[in-house]
């Protein structure tokens, strides 16, 4: 539920709450300590003054009658009956120590630690001792005429109380943090559930499953978001279905166009070869017999010249027919057709073209794949002849278990292939046609080219079904 690695929403809420609670708890503890300290000190001082005043009142009688024994007992009783009173002592008005509660001897420094100013009702001095802070409270006896009473109160119980209260508050804060976190986990899980649901459906739709919908029942903003999301998903589904249908129709049409084009080329090539070629051959035979009857010395007779023209026309027609649709491709298959095409191309353009074939089987591949690869290589070589200014060209055709791959590579001037491939408006049809043909055969087509670094064309067509040995 909580994805720590991805810093889930719940975790962020929890972290936020933790910070707030810790800060809040610390502030409360510190504030409480300050308030309690002030309150307690105030109370202790008041109590100390009250004890000292009472002691001063009772001590005056004993001092007046010089009863120092009872004065001593009174001082000891005062100390013994109050837990936080650490000591008490009485000093005469001329500074003489009259009685004290220290069992093991009086620390003389105490006599000067807290001097009562004249006319003062009391005076308080904070003494730092080994036992902690002690507040020495001095109160005059009989307006100071009989001496001064000192009572020392320890802040030990204050610190103990503060410690206990701090511990209690700390425990309460930790308990509040724990309860808060548990509640946050629960609430965050509930709050983020619709978000997770939307994320799940978005993922499914992105992966192509347009049937998925978000199931969020709440009537709040999340519910509205989910409904809007579902409406959008419906719309997207409809659009994708329409797009798919259109794409299927386009592919179907394109397939038909290409098949019709190939058929037409085949028909014209056959016509050129069988009809026009035959006619020209007959013409040449006729011209030959005419030449034999023509006296060799006659300049009027230009039969040989005409025969040469007819021969050139016959050659042109033959080349045209092969270019349109070589019968060798239908009869013997892709590799012999490519070998012939490359040989003719080499001769026609004077380019060094290497053809490497790696054919792991004797069988032929489906005819439409042969035609596809043949046409792509043909267009690639035509482009090289027209634009590349290349010195070396290589054509590699590989067939393995997975499929058929053709690579046409040149070391020419190269070009910006991305620009051409992204321009669907262009009337340059060669590269787009190659891509369409490869895609119709279920394959892929890639160009790697950059200005000055030559061009490489990759075509890979998978062979899924059984192998065909002839017409497609």
Ligand X SMILES: Nc1ncnc2c1ncn2[C@@H]1O[C@H](COP(=O)(O)OP(=O)(O)OP(=O)(O)O)[C@@H](O)[C@H]1O
433 touching Mg ion, by CB under 5 A: no
Residue 462 contact among ligand X, Mg ion, none, beta carbon within 5 to 8 Å by kind = none
Which of Mg ion, ligand X, none does residue 229 bind (CB under 5 to 8 Å by kind)? none
Rounded to the nearest angstrom, the gap between the alpha carbon of residue 197 and the centroid of all alpha carbons in its chain is 19
Among 428, 448, 453, 469, binds ligand X (CB under 6 A): 428
* Stretch of 284-292, 298-306, 330-338, 422-430 contacting Mg ion, by CB under 5 A: 422-430
CB 125 within 8 A of CB 113: yes
Q: How far is the CB of 393 from ligand X (least distance, A)?
A: 9
What's the min distance (Å) between Cβ of 198 and Mg ion? Answer: 48
Is 455 a residue that touches ligand X (CB under 6 A)?
A: yes
Three-state DSSP at 68 gives: helix
Q: Contact with ligand X (CB under 6 A): which of 388, 397, 441, 463?
A: 388
Query: Taking the chain, what is the end-to-end CA distance rounded to the nearest angstrom?
Result: 56
Query: Measured from the CB atom, is 126 or 354 closer to ligand X?
Result: 354
Which is closer to ligand X, CB of 196 or CB of 432? Answer: 432
Q: Is 436 a binder of ligand X (CB under 6 A)?
A: no
- If DSSP codes are grouped into helix, strand and coil, which group holds residue 304? helix
Q: CB of 383: closest distance to Mg ion in angstroms?
A: 4
Which one, 96 or 354, has the nearer CB to ligand X? 354
Dihedral, 464, 465, 467, 472 alpha carbons, nearest 10? -110
The answer to whether 85 and 142 have CB atoms below 8 angstroms apart is no
Contact 467, 364 (CB under 8 A): yes
CB of 289 to Mg ion, least distance (A): 45
Report the residue number, 372 or 383, with the smaller CB distance to Mg ion.
Answer: 383
Instruction: For residue 459, give the 3-state DSSP assignment.
Output: strand
Choice between 106 and 387, CB closer to ligand X: 387
User: Measured between alpha carbons, how far is 370 from 404 in angstroms, rounded to an integer?
Assistant: 10
Q: How far is the CB of 5 from Mg ion (least distance, A)?
A: 51
Phi and psi of 414, rounded to 5°? 70, 180
Contacting ligand X (CB under 6 A), which of 155, 405, 409, 410? Answer: 410
State the number of binding residues for ligand X (CB under 6 A): 16
DSSP annotation of 387: I
d(CA 312, CA 139): 142
In angstroms, rounded to a whole number, what is the distance separating the alpha carbons of residues 132 and 128?
6
**Among residue numbers 348 through 387, which ones bind ligand X (CB under 6 A)?**
383-384, 386-387
- Of 45-64, which residues contact Mg ion (CB under 5 A)? none
What does the angle CA 37 – CA 38 – CA 42 come to, to the nearest 5 degrees? 115
At CA 145, angle to CA 140 and CA 149, rounded to 5? 30
| Binding of residue 378 to Mg ion (CB under 5 A) | no
The correct pick among 192, 383, 455, 456 for binding Mg ion (CB under 5 A) is 383
In b/e form, how buried is each residue of 282-320, taking b as 16+ CB within 10 angstroms? Answer: ebbeebeeeeeeeeeeeeeeebeeebeebeeebeebbee
Comparing CB distances to ligand X, the nearer of 326 and 414 is: 414
Q: Using the rule CB under 6 A, is 431 a contact of ligand X?
A: yes
Residues making contact with Mg ion (CB under 5 A):
383, 430
Residues making contact with ligand X (CB under 6 A):
383-384, 386-388, 410, 412-415, 420, 428-431, 455
């Amino acid at each position: 539920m909580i994805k720590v690695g991805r810093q889930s929403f719940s975790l962020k809420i929890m972290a936020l709450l933790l910070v707030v609670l810790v800060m809040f708890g610390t502030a409360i503890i510190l504030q409480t300590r300050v308030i309690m300290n002030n309150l307690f000190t105030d109370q202790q001082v008041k109590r100390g003054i009250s004890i000292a005043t009472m002691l001063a009142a009772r001590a005056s009688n004993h001092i007046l009658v010089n009863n120092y024994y009872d004065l001593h007992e009174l001082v000891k009783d005062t100390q013994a009956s109050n837990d936080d009173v650490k000591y008490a002592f009485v000093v005469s008005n001329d500074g003489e120590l009259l009685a004290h509660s220290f069992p093991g001897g009086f620390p003389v420094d105490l006599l000067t630690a807290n001097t009562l100013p004249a006319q003062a009702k009391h005076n308080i001095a904070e003494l730092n001792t080994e036992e902690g802070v002690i507040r020495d409270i001095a109160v005059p006896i009989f307006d100071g005429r009989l001496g001064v009473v000192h009572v020392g109160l320890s802040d030990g119980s204050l610190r103990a109380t503060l410690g206990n209260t701090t511990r209690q508050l700390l425990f309460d804060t930790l308990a509040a943090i724990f309860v808060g976190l548990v509640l946050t986990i629960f609430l965050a899980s509930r709050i983020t559930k619709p978000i997770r649901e939307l994320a799940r459906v978005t993922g499914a739709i992105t992966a192509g499953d347009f049937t998925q919908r978000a199931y969020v029942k709440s009537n709040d903003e999340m519910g509205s978001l989910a409904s809007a999301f579902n409406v959008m998903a419906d719309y997207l589904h409809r659009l994708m279905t329409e797009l798919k249908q259109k794409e299927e129709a386009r592919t179907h049409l394109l397939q038909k166009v290409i098949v019709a084009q190939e058929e037409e080329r085949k028909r014209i090539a056959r016509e050129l070869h069988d009809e026009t070629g035959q006619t020209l051959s007959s013409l040449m035979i006729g011209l030959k017999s005419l030449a034999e009857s023509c006296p060799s010395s006659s300049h009027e007779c230009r039969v040989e010249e005409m025969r040469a023209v007819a021969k050139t026309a016959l050659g042109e027609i033959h080349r045209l027919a092969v270019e349109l649709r070589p019968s060798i491709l239908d009869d013997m298959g892709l590799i012999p057709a490519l070998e012939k095409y490359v040989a003719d191309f080499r001769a026609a353009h004077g380019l060094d073209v290497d053809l490497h074939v790696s054919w792991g089987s004797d069988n032929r591949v489906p005819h439409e794949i042969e035609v596809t690869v043949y046409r792509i290589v043909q267009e690639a070589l035509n482009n090289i002849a027209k634009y590349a200014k290349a010195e070396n060209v290589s054509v590699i055709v590989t067939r393995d278990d997975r499929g058929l791959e053709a690579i046409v590579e040149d070391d020419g001037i190269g070009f910006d292939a991305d620009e051409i491939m992204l321009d669907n408006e262009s009337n340059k049809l060669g590269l787009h046609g190659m891509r369409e043909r490869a895609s119709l055969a279920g394959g892929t087509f890639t160009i790697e080219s950059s200005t000055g670094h030559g061009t490489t064309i990759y075509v890979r067509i998978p062979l899924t079904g059984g192998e065909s040995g002839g017409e497609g």
